[in-house]
Amino acid sequence: MPRLVVLALDGFPHRAISPALTPCMWSFASAGGRAPDGGVTDLPSSTDPGFCSLLTGCHPRRHGVRTTSSADERWPPGGVIPPGTGLDAHGYPLNREVLPRLLDALSKERMDFVFGHFNESDTVGHDHGPESDAARECYAATDAVIGQVLDALADRWKETVIVVVSDHDMQARDDSAPIDPMAHSDGLWDLYVPDGGSALIHLRPGVDPAAAGAALQRLDGVETWMPDDASMVIAGAEPGRIFAAPRYPAGGFHGAPITARTVALVGGGHPAVGRLATAIERRRPHLADWVPTLAPLLGLELPGADGINFLG
């Protein structure tokens, strides 16, 4: 039975993976494989829909942004952060707090599947911008943490498959006014939910989604739109633009088409790694493809998944 390890880097840009800035991940991917243009996720390109797709193998329309709670062990326990845990500026545990718990899980023989999430790159990108000195320092520090995890996997390297992904990219905001869909709804929609560079647009009863999409496309700053269901469409903003919301990040944000690119690296010593590396170099992986690809290695099938099995 192989050991599968998925390391998720929140808000970590694909473009940050380089020999100088992230040498551990660059060496890891050079020995294994990487998607040249990164992976991709759905709109809104945000954490909850992205990681739910990663963990379920389904697109947001099907998983409903529901997550799994079937792990044998979880940290924080019960989803409650223990008192005294070091937190970042947004209230998430620091990478140095997550690392020892992850290493402990990896040391246990019975753990055939381990999922680890490191959040700091997202917080720093939001607060300072994804190209800031602070963000680059965080990318390098996160790479060092991943290096420690890879070192801890050396004892069972030949039976291990490791995937390093992110949930979304990050972009800097320009100085243009936020996009307010309600200012030009033409009676086609009655509310919207902003998510950075995307917005969920709720249509009035009987409105044709194509008519609403055409109207959205005429709004200044809207780059694209797509149907979600009979009552909802998704609007995506042009690079640098953001939808009007009660509050905005000080530096970077995500949600838009331009931030739908994800990190996609594979490695390890298991025989499947070479085939998986070749597959993602030829075809860009969606976050929903990872679980349908990895689950069969543990003898599990996911017949209801939307994603494809890259090893099938």
Residue 191 within any structural domain of the chain: yes
- Residue 66: predicted pLDDT: 33
Q: Residue 232 burial (CB < 10 Å; 0-12/13-18/19+)?
A: middle
Residue 306 within any structural domain of the chain: no
- Residue 68: predicted pLDDT: 37
pLDDT per residue over 172-197, tens digit each? Answer: 999 999 999 999 898 999 999 999 99
User: How far is the C-alpha of 261 from the C-alpha of 52, rounded, in Å?
Assistant: 16
Residue 312 within any structural domain of the chain: no
Task: Quote the Cα angle for 147-7-35, to 5°.
Answer: 90
Q: Is the pLDDT of residue 39 over 90?
A: yes
| Cβ(158)–Cβ(270) below 8 Å | yes
Q: How far is CA 287 from CA 17, 58, 187, in A?
A: 18, 9, 35
Please indicate, yes or no, whether residues 146 and 289 belong to a single structural domain of this protein: yes
Please indicate, yes or no, whether residues 229 and 277 belong to a single structural domain of this protein: no
Q: Taking residues 132-138, report their average pLDDT.
A: 98
Please indicate, yes or no, whether residues 35 and 115 belong to a single structural domain of this protein: yes
Residue 29 within any structural domain of the chain: yes
Please indicate, yes or no, whether residues 36 and 150 belong to a single structural domain of this protein: yes
Q: Is the pLDDT of residue 285 over 80?
A: yes
pLDDT per residue over 40-71, tens digit each? Answer: 999 999 998 999 999 999 999 888 863 334 56
DSSP E strand stretches across the chain: 3-9, 33-34, 39-40, 113-118, 160-166, 171-172, 189-195, 198-203, 222-229, 232-237, 252-253, 261-262, 264-267
Predicted TM-score (pTM) above 0.75: yes
Please indicate, yes or no, whether residues 60 and 204 belong to a single structural domain of this protein: no
Choose one of 232, 248, 264: the last residue of a domain: 248
| Cβ(145)–Cβ(107) below 8 Å | no
Please indicate, yes or no, whether residues 97 and 185 belong to a single structural domain of this protein: no
Q: What is the CATH number of the domain that holds 284?
A: 3.40.720.10
- Residue 209: predicted pLDDT: 95
Residue 139: domain span: 3-171+255-298
Please indicate, yes or no, whether residues 132 and 261 belong to a single structural domain of this protein: yes
Q: What is the CATH number of the domain that holds 243?
A: 3.30.1360
Please indicate, yes or no, whether residues 272 and 151 belong to a single structural domain of this protein: yes
Please indicate, yes or no, whether residues 147 and 291 belong to a single structural domain of this protein: yes
Please indicate, yes or no, whether residues 53 and 83 belong to a single structural domain of this protein: yes
Residue 231 within any structural domain of the chain: yes
Residue 307 within any structural domain of the chain: no
pLDDT per residue over 186-238, tens digit each? Answer: 899 999 999 999 999 999 999 999 999 999 999 999 999 999 888 999 999 99
Number of folded domains that form the chain: 2
pLDDT per residue over 63-112, tens digit each? Answer: 886 333 456 677 788 778 899 999 888 888 899 999 999 999 999 887 89
Please indicate, yes or no, whether residues 101 and 64 belong to a single structural domain of this protein: yes
Please indicate, yes or no, whether residues 42 and 23 belong to a single structural domain of this protein: yes
Q: Is the pLDDT of residue 241 over 50?
A: yes
